[in-house]
Each structure stands twice: as C-alpha cells, then as structure tokens.
Amino acid sequence: MSEQTDLILMELEEKMEKSVEAIVAEFQNIRTGRANPGILDSIFIKYYGVDTQLKQISSITVPEGNQLYIKPFDKSILKEVERAIGTSKIGLTPQNDGIGLRLIFPQLTEERRKELSKDVTKLSENGKVAIRNIRRDGNEQIKKLSLPEDLEFSTLDEIQKLTDKYTEKMDEVSEKKIEEIMNI
C-alpha cells in the first residue's frame, strides 16, 4: 500500500472510532435505573460568571446502587446546582439536605425499559449510518487517486474491513447498553 492510502485508512479509522465514542457518550444520557455519575456530564452551572461542568465543582458519589449524592465544594452554589439539575433533561428531582443533593433513580417499568431499548437501537443505527458515510467518503478519496487497479481494490477491501469492524463495535456497545437497561 502507498503512503497516501495508509494516511486515508488511518484517518477513516480515527473518524469511525470517534463515531463509536460519540454514541457511547449519548448512551450515558439514557437512564438505566442504576446510578451513573456520567448522567450529570451534560449539566453546567454558572460559577463566577463561567459555565462550569457540575463534576468540576462538586464531588459526586454513589452511596447506593440507585442513588447519587452531589456535594458542591462551595456551599453557596447548592441552590444553583439544585435548579440546574431540576431543569435538566435527566428527569429527576434532587433532594436538598442543606449540604448536598441526593438523586434517587426510580426503578424503571418494563414498558419504559423497552422504550429506552428502542432509543438505544435508534442511536446505534445513526452511528452505523455515520460509519457507512465515512466509508463512502473514503472510497471516493481512493477512487480519485487513480491507483493501479489491484492496489485500489485491496484498499477498498481494507476500508470495508474497517467498516465491518466498527459496525460490529457499534452493535456490541448497543447490546451492552440494552442489557444494562433490561437488567432489573
């Protein structure tokens, strides 16, 4: 393989890896009935005039399997943290004890678990579409290079193998998330 094709393959693999990582990050926003501090990653608080991620200004612990305890390092922002969590899309109401906030994750109903599983499947399909689009772009790049026929064919084959690898990886992470959701 030529240096040019190697560069294209490396770039495609990097993009495909980022697609999988983006979907895994999206999965963290889906509640499973189990406490996961990652669900708070999208919450930001105005702290000294700057939007700051919640996990940077507080300690987040898991005292029990279905609870998170958020204790801001600065007690004066407790109300602001409570408001931010209450208005976020995680759909939980924090319980304020004057020192910190407790988030209790209710058990999911069977119907809700199935809905969440469908959401995971939909996100996974979107990720696979992104991977296939990356493959298409890579194939177009290779065809524009006017390579010898055998080199072009083997490079396109390598791109397909990368696509298969990352599509399979996407299936694995979605199956793992669905299993996590369906586990009572």
Give 27-45 pLDDT, tens digit per residue. Answer: 877 766 677 788 888 888 8
Task: Report pLDDT digits (tens) over 63-93.
Answer: 887 889 999 998 888 899 898 888 887 778 8
What pLDDT score does 1 carry? 63
Task: Report pLDDT digits (tens) over 145-173.
Answer: 888 999 999 999 999 999 999 999 999 99
Band of residue 3 on the pLDDT scale cut at 50, 70, 90 = confident
Which amino acid is residue 110, in one-letter code?
A: E
d(CA 114, CA 122): 12
Q: How do the domains of the chain map onto residue ranges? A: 3-29+109-182, 37-104
Topology of the domain comprising 3-29+109-182: Topoisomerase I; Chain A, domain 4 (1.10.132)
Band of residue 132 on the pLDDT scale cut at 50, 70, 90 = very high
d(CA 148, CA 143): 10
Domains 3-29+109-182 and 37-104 share a fold: no
Q: Answer yes or no: are the C-beta atoms of 19 and 166 closer than 8 Å.
A: yes
What pLDDT score does 140 carry? 94
Give this prediction's pTM: 0.71
- To the question of domain 37-104 being in CATH 3.30.1360.40, the answer is yes
26 or 134: which leads in pLDDT = 134
- Of 95, 115, 90, nearest to 35 by C-alpha is 90
DSSP single-letter state for residue 29: T
| Extended beta strands in 23-94, E state | 44-47, 50-53, 58-61, 67-72
Which 3-state string (H, E, C) describes 101-165?
EEEECCCCCHHHHHHHHHHHHHHHHHHHHHHHHHHHHHHHHHHHCCCCHHHHHHHHHHHHHHHHH
